[in-house]
Amino acid sequence: MRFSSYSILSEKKEGIPRTLLNGITGAVDLLGPQLEPVIENALETGDVPAALAHMSDEARQSLLNRGHLTEWSVDEERAIVNILADEAHKAMARRPSFMIVPNLDCNYRCTYCFERPMQNGLKSSNTAISHKKNNVVMQAEQVGQALDAIALLRAEQGLSEEGQIILYGGEPLDRRNQAVVRQIVSEGRARGTFFAAITNGHDLDAYLDLIGRGGIEQIQVSIDGPKRVHDKRRIYVGKESSFDAIVANVNRVLEHTDAEVQIRSHVDPQNIELFGELVDFFAGQGWLDHPQVVIYGNTVYERTGDGGVTSRIDVADIDATLSPIAQAARNIYTSAPEVHAERSILPALNAGEPMKLKGTYCSANTGNYIFAPDGSIYACWESVGKECSRIGTFGESGAELDAEATDRWFGRSIARLPTCQRCAFALVCGGGCAQYAEYESDTLYASYCDDFQRTFRSALTRTVERYLDHDCKQEEKVDA
Ligand code: SF4
Ligand code: SF4
């Protein structure tokens, strides 16, 4: 008998019981004070006999039943991980995701925008996507073509047209493109579709009547620091302050609609120390613990000269810096992985059920179809407009998918990532961002860890803290 190779122990934090998660069974168990050091030591040293000697038969049996202790060999566990990854991947592929890009241009010039090279070419006549070619803003006839293609792709999986479409850009909600945005939402709604939008938030006031249940139900905006800092990073093409416009619009959305507003704050070494000041500002707006608001930190990634990708600060260091500030409210998270971790762990804790595991990192590896004004269908958010994520085309004669490209993007899962198969976090992480893996390693079929292991262990601790604090749960623990 040995401890599972897929054991994940939460980070230590004073006053919070440590949690043992098994990355095969999905069992999430709070540990009692006597068992905590025993398990920590066993996982560090591999001294299983010593650990077993310190626990009762009941504790041993409980850990065995939950998969933390196992009779399987390392290879047998790995084979199971591959099977589970494959199954999870297939299940996700039966629920494809859809995005529509009304506009590939943007009314902001953010200093770190990863779409800038494509957008710089929009004024040229020599580029594949340009205003001169009239393929930057979606044309009226393309709306029905995209929605028909989405309906067919959903039908192939036995799904009705009801479901979510994410509006993405460029800037999807630029007020100059109201006609096409209104057409997308109105025709989509008639088919039972609801929407989310990833927007800079500058022109939300022009779309308030579309926002809320049954329309655009979720909005994601970015605020990168107090006004004096934000305005220098997220720059509006006109003269006005982007900060003032976004803040006013977030308040309008909260006052007049029931939409969820996700506020993302990109942090790097230049602004991370100002996150506390920003949170104080949010408190003044009444956004802390607001039931419609989610606030989280996010890394800024940059391309390197040799085609790779980097960030000036590690995700886990962001997590460590923001974590004390995030204590200010239940709706502040240190990173997007923490938001996702809580959304998968909390239901498991509340229901006393295993956490749902996954075989892939994001929908770009299971079935994500992004319909853009250039008539292309892309798989990945990061590389809309780029050949590397183009998986097909759509138009008058319907959608045509490139079999090789779709297989390359949608075939990536833990079952095809040997490095990840040996990682305890395999079915919790899913292999990391495929596009960044390709930038770094010239293939989608490489791992991209991005500090996931450290970030997830601390997210596990904070999720348990929230579960115990806010829901007044009785602590049911496994102990020695
Ligand atoms: S592959 Fe990476 S960049 Fe592309 S959608 Fe997935 S997580 Fe985002
Ligand atoms: S990407 Fe890294 S953290 Fe994620 S499963 Fe693979 S090896 Fe583990």
Per residue in 282-315, pLDDT tens?
A: 999 999 999 999 999 999 888 888 889 988 898 8
| Residue 470 pLDDT | 63
Choose among 171, 286, 184: nearest CA to 220.
171
Q: Once rounded to an integer, what is the mean pLDDT over residues 67-72?
A: 96
Pocket flag, ligand 2, residue 432 (CB < 6 Å): yes
Q: Which ligand is nearest to the CA of 358?
A: 2
Residues 317-352 pLDDT 10s? 899 999 999 999 999 999 988 899 899 999 999 888
Question: Ligand 2: distance of its center to the CA of 21 in Å?
Answer: 16
453 lines ligand 2 (CB under 6 A): yes
The residues lining ligand 1, judged by C-beta closer than 6 Å to any ligand atom, are: 362, 364, 380-382, 433-436
Give residue 471's pLDDT: 53
Give the residue-averaged pLDDT of 397-416: 97
Q: What mean pLDDT, rounded, does the chain reach?
A: 94
With a cut of 90, say whether residue 469 has pLDDT above it. Answer: no
Percent of the chain with pLDDT over 70: 98
Q: What is the pLDDT of residue 45?
A: 93
Residue nearest (by alpha carbon) to ligand 1 atom 7: 433
How far, in Å, is the centroid of ligand 1 from the Cα of 383? Answer: 8
Residue-level pLDDT at 199? 98
Whole-number pLDDT of residue 161: 86
What is the 3-class SS of the chain, one letter each residue?
CEECCCEEECCCECCECCEEEECCCCCEEEECCCHHHHHHHHHHHCCHHHHHHCCCHHHHHHHHHCCCEECCCHHHHHHHHHHHHHHHHHHHHCCCEEEECCECCCCECCCCCCCHHHHHHHHCCCCCCCHHHCCCECCHHHHHHHHHHHHHHHHHCCCCCCEEEEECCCCCCCHHHHHHHHHHHHHHHHCCEEEEEECCCCCHHHHHHHECCCCEEEEEEECCCCHHHHHHHCCECCCCCHHHHHHHHHHHHHHHCCCEEEEEEEECCCCHHHHHHHHHHHHHHCCCCCCCEEEEEEECEEECCCCCEEECCCHHHHHHHHHHHHCCCCCEECCHHHHHHHHHHHHHHHHCCCCCCCCCCCHHHCCEEEECCCCEEECCCCCCCCHHHEEEEEECCEEEECHHHHHHHHCCCHHHCHHHHCCCCHHHHCCCCHHHHHHHHCCCCCCCCCCHHHHHHHHHHHHHHHHHHHCCCCCCEECC
Does the pLDDT of residue 472 top 50, yes or no? Answer: no
CB 97 less than 6 A from any atom of ligand 2: no
d(CA 157, CA 90): 11
Give residue 360's pLDDT: 97
Can you tell me the distance from the alpha carbon of 63 to that of 7, in angstroms, rounded to the nearest whole number?
A: 11
Q: Where are the domains of the chain?
A: 2-89+455-478, 97-364
Per-residue confidence at 74, pLDDT binned at 50, 70, 90?
A: very high
pLDDT of residue 113: 86
Whether the per-residue pLDDT at 160 is higher than 60: the answer is yes
pLDDT digits (tens, 9 = 90+) for 168-203: 999 999 999 999 999 999 999 999 999 999 999 999
Query: What does the pLDDT look like over 7-45, one tens digit per residue?
Result: 999 999 999 999 999 999 999 999 999 999 999 999 999
| For ligand 1, mutation pick of 299, 369, 436, 448 (most atoms within 8 Å of CB) | 436
Q: Minimal CA–CA distance to 18: which of 4, 45, 38?
A: 38
According to CATH, the topology of domain 97-364 is TIM Barrel (3.20.20)
